[in-house]
Amino acid sequence: MKHLFVLFLVFAAFACNQQEKSAVEKIMADTDNGGITLPEGFSALVVADEIGRGRHIAVNENGDIYVSLRNHDQNKGIACLRDTTGDGRADIVEYTGEHTGTGIKLHKGYLYFGSDTAVVRYPMQPGELLPANNWEMIARGFPTERQHEAKPMEFDGQGNMYVTVGAPANACMEQMRTKGSPGMDPCPILEYAGGIWKFKDDVLNQDQLTDGERYATGIRHAVANSWNKKVNELYVVQHGRDQLSQFFPEMFDDKQNAELPAEEFFLVTEGADFGWPYCYYDPFQEKKVLAPEYGGDGEMVERCENKMDPIMAFPGHIAPNDLLFYTGNMFPEKYRNGAFIAFHGSWNRAPEPQSGYFVVFVPFDGAYPSSDWEIFADGFAGMETINSTRDAEYRPCGLAQGPDGSLYVVDSNKGKIWRIMYS
């Protein structure tokens, strides 16, 4: 009997040790997939439940996870998570840094972080979960904004960094979001916002307007951005304008307002102009039309004719907040080089029911989608009909690919993190 116990003990100790060594094989999904629904063959586990208002997420080669937080009472806006037991669940959660914000990416041995007014980087320390605190300023001088202030960044692998500078406006009206106020023409915001700015990825203290270069314009706000390494191009997904029926009830009813305009998926080439604030994309007419603030009637095109069209249109107001081109080997062939997009979920479809709150997949062939988008992960909101945004229990906001090809999703309400796997 005694021997049996000793044997069992040795076995248990051995099993425990093995678990740490070959973590990937030991990771078990949750029986309910953490409350979300996925296509057949996929499963998910909850990595962490409540780490704070998560925005974007990065996963290191050793599996350590970094999440940017929208706010933190001591400004420690980087949540750092580590799994030390090999079950895929974070058992260490620490907070560090001196910034809060959205952009977060591991690049060249640093953790780049986009606060709402600057891009900084924290040096990573080999073997350590926490980055060092002696951060450096990379890009500064961004406008202080109270809407569309998130500054996500992306890298092209050729020494450049692209930062979204969202427009602090709905449609560049003279009086902000006020019925009857005309659009400013030309819109002065476009000089410093409403586009993508390009910087060097390792030069310190670059000023947005003197050192940065406006790479593309006419983008109202794009929290979702990703460099597609397969075709070497930048892609972003735009948050389209709001409140058509509120400001122009004679032209649009609430149902039309819920569907117009589309959320647009852009292939961003250098110098491209996507039309904001003068134009928006009507997915039913399949074209850019002139915004009513600039004399449009819902059908007129005029100056919008030569603005760049989206490569895909999504339902209105569903708020694309992250984009990821899948390059892993874990998921089936169909998903390789395709795009995952996290839709944060709408508010401006009210009084119609809200929509979004899911992760979609867009299959790609080369630079363009090869077929229509499909919902990949759903059920984050925890209910079928969402009338008010606050009713949604979770809102997917950030995406990352793990070293084994798992897809991570972070929520912005409580900071829940799912790891989606395929077997």
Task: Give the residues lining the site for other proteins (CB under 8 A).
Answer: 1-2, 5-6, 8-9, 12-13, 15-16, 19, 48-53, 70-72, 85, 87, 89, 91-95, 146-147, 175-180, 242-243, 246, 249, 347-348, 350-351, 387-391, 395, 412-415
- Min dist CB 237 to other proteins, Å, is 19
Query: What's phi and psi for 34, nearest 5 deg?
Result: 65, 25
- CB neighbour class for 107 (10 Å; exposed up to 12, middle 13-18, buried from 19): middle
Strands 206-207 vs 374-377: parallel, antiparallel or unpaired: unpaired
Strands (E), 62-152: 65-69, 78-82, 92-96, 101-107, 110-115, 119-123, 136-140
Q: Do 187 and 168 form a contact (C-beta atoms < 8 A)?
A: no
- Min dist CB 128 to other proteins, Å, is 17
Stated as kind and residue range, the H or E segment containing 257 is helix 254-259
Is the alpha carbon torsion for 152, 157, 197, 109 positive or negative? positive
Nearest residue (CB) to other proteins, 16 versus 137: 16
Nearest residue (CB) to other proteins, 43 versus 348: 348
Is the alpha carbon torsion for 138, 141, 146, 152 positive or negative? negative
- Min dist CB 317 to other proteins, Å, is 10
Structure tokens at 195: 């586009």
- Min dist CB 368 to other proteins, Å, is 33
Bond before 277 cis per omega within 30 degrees: yes
Strands 206-207 vs 136-140: parallel, antiparallel or unpaired: parallel
- Min dist CB 178 to other proteins, Å, is 5
Q: Do 340 and 326 form a contact (C-beta atoms < 8 A)?
A: yes
- Min dist CB 300 to other proteins, Å, is 24
Query: What's phi and psi for 105, nearest 5 deg?
Result: -150, 140
Radius of gyration of the chain (CA): 22
Nearest residue (CB) to other proteins, 85 versus 327: 85
Cα dihedral 212/218/222/226 (nearest 10): -60
Stated as kind and residue range, the H or E segment containing 15 is helix 2-21
Nearest residue (CB) to other proteins, 86 versus 218: 86
Q: Which amino acid is at 93?
A: V
Nearest residue (CB) to other proteins, 24 versus 300: 24
- Min dist CB 53 to other proteins, Å, is 7
- Min dist CB 319 to other proteins, Å, is 10
Nearest residue (CB) to other proteins, 13 versus 204: 13
- Min dist CB 68 to other proteins, Å, is 14
Nearest residue (CB) to other proteins, 89 versus 288: 89
CA distance 366 to 228: 10
- Min dist CB 292 to other proteins, Å, is 16
The strands making up 101-107's β-sheet, listed across from edge to edge, are 101-107, 110-115, 119-123, 136-140, 206-207
